[in-house]
C-alpha cells in the first residue's frame, strides 16, 4: 500500500485477512475488490467452522510479512477511502489497532466498550459520552470489533498465544457471563500493553438480511429483521393485509 506525504512515498505492507463461510454475500466481495485493488492489498481467506481459529491461523501466517494486518468480516461494507483513513490515523497517532464506527446487527448500538468500563461496567449497563467524543480523530476504547480493523503486527507480537479463546460463565454455560473469543482478544490485547482505538471519522456498514413486505398503502415497503419473523412467524402490523371478506 503506497503512502504519500508531500514528495515522499513509502510502501506499507498490509495484508487483508478473512474468516469466511463457504457461502457469502456477493455485494461485499465486489466492494472489497474496488477498495483493495487500487491500494495493492491482497485479501486472504480461511474457511472453517470456528471464526476464532480461522482468524488465528491467517493472522499468524502474515505476522512476519507485513506492518499491518487488516481483519475483515464478510458482512462489513467499506470503501478505499475508509482504508486510507484508517492507515493515516494509525500512523499519525501510533495506534496499535484502529477501526471505525460499526453498529450491531438488529440492534443499532456501536460495537465497542468505552475505555475503563470492560472490567468495571456501569450498574445499569448504560454508558453516555459527550458529543465532543465524536469530534476526536481517534478515541481509545477497551474493546472494538474485527469488521474492518487495522492491527499492527509489532503490537500483535507483544501478545502471547492464545489470541482467541471462548470462556464459559461460572456455571460452565454459554449464556450471560461468558467471555467470547473476540472480547478475550481485546482484553488480552490491553493486558499486553497494547491500545485499541475507534475513529468516529470512519463509518462502516454492517450487512443484514431483511424481509421486505408490501406496505398497507402499497406505496412504500415495510422492513422486518429476518430473525424477528423466524421467531414470531408474524408480519409487521403495518404490512399489507388482504381486505376482510
The grid cell for 203 is 463509518
Residue 55 belongs to what H/E stretch?
helix 51-62
Q: How far apart are CA 119 and CA 222, in angstroms?
A: 40
Q: What is the pTM of this model?
A: 0.91
215 by Cβ neighbours in 10 Å (0-12 / 13-18 / 19+) ranks as: middle
Cβ-based neighbours of 210, under 8 Å, separated by 6 or more: 223, 224, 225, 226
> Cα–Cα–Cα angle for 195, 4, 204, nearest 5°?
50
The grid cell for 153 is 503486527
Q: What is the pLDDT of residues 220-236, one digit of tens each?
A: 999 999 999 999 999 99
SS3 state at 2? strand
For the cut 90, the answer to whether the pLDDT of residue 11 exceeds it is: no
Cis, peptide link before residue 162, omega less than 30° from 0: yes
* Whole-Å CA distances, 223 to 20, 77, 105, 180: 27, 20, 14, 30
Q: Is the separation of the CB atoms in 144 and 99 below 8 Å?
A: yes
Cβ-based neighbours of 9, under 8 Å, separated by 6 or more: 2, 3
Predicted confidence at residue 133, as pLDDT, reads 93
Predicted confidence at residue 161, as pLDDT, reads 97
Q: What is the pLDDT of residues 87-144, one digit of tens each?
A: 999 999 999 999 999 999 988 889 999 999 998 888 887 888 889 999 999 999 999 9
Predicted confidence at residue 8, as pLDDT, reads 81
What is the DSSP code (8-state) at residue 243?
P
Amino acid at each position: 500500500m503506497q503512502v504519500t506525504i508531500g514528495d515522499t512515498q513509502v510502501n506499507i505492507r498490509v495484508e487483508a485477512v478473512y474468516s469466511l463461510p463457504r457461502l457469502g454475500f456477493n455485494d461485499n466481495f465486489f466492494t472489497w475488490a474496488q477498495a483493495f485493488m487500487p491500494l495493492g492489498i491482497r485479501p486472504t481467506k480461511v474457511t472453517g467452522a470456528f471464526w476464532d481459529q480461522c482468524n488465528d491461523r491467517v493472522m499468524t501466517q502474515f505476522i512476519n510479512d507485513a506492518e499491518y494486518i487488516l481483519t475483515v468480516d464478510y458482512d462489513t461494507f467499506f470503501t478505499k477511502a475508509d482504508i486510507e483513513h484508517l492507515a493515516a490515523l494509525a500512523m499519525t497517532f501510533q495506534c496499535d489497532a484502529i477501526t471505525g464506527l460499526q453498529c450491531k446487527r438488529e440492534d443499532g448500538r456501536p460495537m465497542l466498550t468505552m475505555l475503563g468500563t470492560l472490567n468495571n461496567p456501569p450498574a445499569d449497563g448504560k454508558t453516555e459520552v459527550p458529543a465532543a467524543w465524536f469530534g476526536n480523530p481517534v478515541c481509545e476504547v477497551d474493546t472494538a470489533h474485527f469488521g474492518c480493523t487495522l492491527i499492527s503486527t509489532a503490537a500483535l507480537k507483544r501478545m502471547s498465544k492464545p489470541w482467541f479463546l471462548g470462556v464459559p460463565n461460572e456455571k460452565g454455560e454459554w449464556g450471560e457471563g461468558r467471555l467470547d473469543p473476540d472480547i478475550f482478544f481485546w482484553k488480552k490485547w490491553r493486558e499486553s500493553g497494547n491500545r485499541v482505538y475507534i475513529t468516529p471519522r470512519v463509518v462502516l456498514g454492517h450487512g443484514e438480511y431483511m424481509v421486505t413486505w408490501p406496505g398497507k398503502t402499497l406505496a412504500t415497503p415495510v422492513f422486518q429483521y429476518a430473525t424477528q419473523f423466524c421467531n414470531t412467524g408474524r408480519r409487521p402490523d403495518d404490512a399489507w393485509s388482504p381486505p376482510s371478506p
